[in-house]
């Protein structure tokens, strides 16, 4: 009897490395991955077969990309110094949310093609949370770097989200001199704010993923789904230029570059 795939044993390098941090926040990622993504793989590899049904391939890509953005945000936020550049971290969170909403729409299309009715019920809540809680700090990417305060224990305090807004098509952001006069209550620990927003985002993901997983038995009983999940032909990615095999890639394998060219102003 075939055992259920697990991230720790069967995930790719990034998934295995990050799963100890992510599993308590987003356990449904592994369940969906084992149910709908692993069966798309070529035997003995971690890459999908060539010619997999397009909607399923897109679902696999969106699922993985959502997780990667979540992991990138987490990894950056673990570095206190990186938290000074919090808009970059929130850009990853917004990307993860956007990809999740696209995934829900593609899953709905897949269900429709397989005669399994599915209508996402939590996507609007996820979208509203993203708009209200994540985008204010993400949008600060387009503003000058804001002022911040640093506590004696090294934590960064930044202006609260309501200080970053748009009015009459004009971006409003905290000027450095304005922050001199802010009360302590107008700042928030970006460490604590990120942890709250990250957990809340993952809670929304869990609600959305569980909706999809609730259809597992019905999907697997569908002939239309079975023809799609078994589609494609076995394919092993080669490392270009050496002939060695890459079995741990979600992308296009490794490339052995051609002879280097000399460029004026090279960083090498």
Q: What pLDDT is attached to residue 254?
A: 47
| Kind of pairing between the strands at 149-150 and 170-172 | unpaired
Residues 228/53, Cβ–Cβ less than 8 Å: yes
Q: What pLDDT is attached to residue 174?
A: 87
pLDDT mean over 93-106: 97
Q: Return the SS3 of 123.
A: helix
Please give the residue range of the domain that contains residue 97: 7-40+53-146+196-231
Q: What pLDDT is attached to residue 44?
A: 86
pLDDT mean over 50-61: 96
Question: How many domains does one find in the chain?
Answer: 1
Establish if 251 belongs to a structural domain.
Answer: no
For the ranges 1-5, 46-50, 56-60, 127-131, which has the lowest average pLDDT? 1-5
Residue 41 in this model has a pLDDT that exceeds 90 = yes
pLDDT mean over 98-115: 95
Establish if 175 belongs to a structural domain.
Answer: no
Establish if 117 belongs to a structural domain.
Answer: yes
Establish if 58 belongs to a structural domain.
Answer: yes
Q: Residue ranges of the alpha helices (H) in the chain?
A: 7-10, 13-22, 28-32, 54-77, 86-113, 123-129, 135-138, 176-179, 190-213, 216-220, 223-229
For the ranges 66-70, 178-182, 260-264, which has the lowest average pLDDT? 260-264
Residue 264 in this model has a pLDDT that exceeds 60 = no
Transcribe 163-211 into DSSP letters. GSEEETTEEE---HHHHTT--GGGEEEHHHHHHHHHHHHHHHHHHHHHH
Residue 92 in this model has a pLDDT that exceeds 80 = yes
Phi, psi of 162 (to 5 degrees): -65, -10
Q: Return the SS3 of 132.
A: helix
Q: What pLDDT is attached to residue 251?
A: 52
Establish if 185 belongs to a structural domain.
Answer: no
Establish if 210 belongs to a structural domain.
Answer: yes
Establish if 132 belongs to a structural domain.
Answer: yes
Establish if 156 belongs to a structural domain.
Answer: no
Question: pLDDT tens-digit profile of 166-206?
Answer: 777 777 888 889 899 999 999 999 999 999 999 999 999 99
């Amino acid at each position: 009897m075939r055992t259920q795939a697990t991230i720790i044993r069967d995930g790719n390098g990034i998934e295995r490395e990050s799963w100890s941090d992510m599993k308590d926040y987003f356990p449904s990622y592994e369940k969906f991955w084992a149910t709908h993504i692993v069966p798309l793989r070529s035997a003995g590899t971690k890459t999908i077969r060539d010619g997999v049904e397009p909607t399923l391939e897109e679902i696999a890509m969106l699922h993985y990309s959502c997780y990667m953005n979540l992991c990138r945000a987490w990894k950056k936020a673990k570095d206190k110094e990186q938290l000074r550049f919090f808009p970059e971290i929130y850009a990853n969170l917004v990307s993860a949310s956007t990809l999740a909403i696209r995934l829900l729409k593609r899953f709905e299309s897949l269900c429709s093609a397989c005669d399994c009715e599915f209508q996402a019920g939590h996507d609007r809540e996820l979208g509203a949370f993203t708009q209200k809680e994540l985008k204010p700090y993400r949008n600060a990417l387009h503003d000058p770097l804001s002022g911040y305060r640093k506590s004696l224990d090294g934590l960064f305090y930044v202006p609260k989200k309501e200080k970053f807004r748009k009015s009459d098509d004009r971006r409003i952001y905290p000027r450095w001199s304005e922050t001199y006069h802010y009360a302590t209550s107008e700042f928030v620990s970006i460490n604590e704010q990120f942890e709250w927003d990250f957990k809340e985002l993952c809670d929304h993901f869990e609600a959305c993923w569980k909706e999809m997983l609730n259809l597992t038995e019905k999907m697997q009983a569908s002939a239309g789904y079975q023809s799609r999940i078994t589609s494609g032909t076995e394919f092993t990615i080669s490392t270009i230029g050496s002939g060695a095999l890459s079995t741990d890639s979600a992308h296009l394998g490794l490339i052995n570059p051609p002879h280097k060219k000399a460029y004026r102003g090279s960083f090498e």
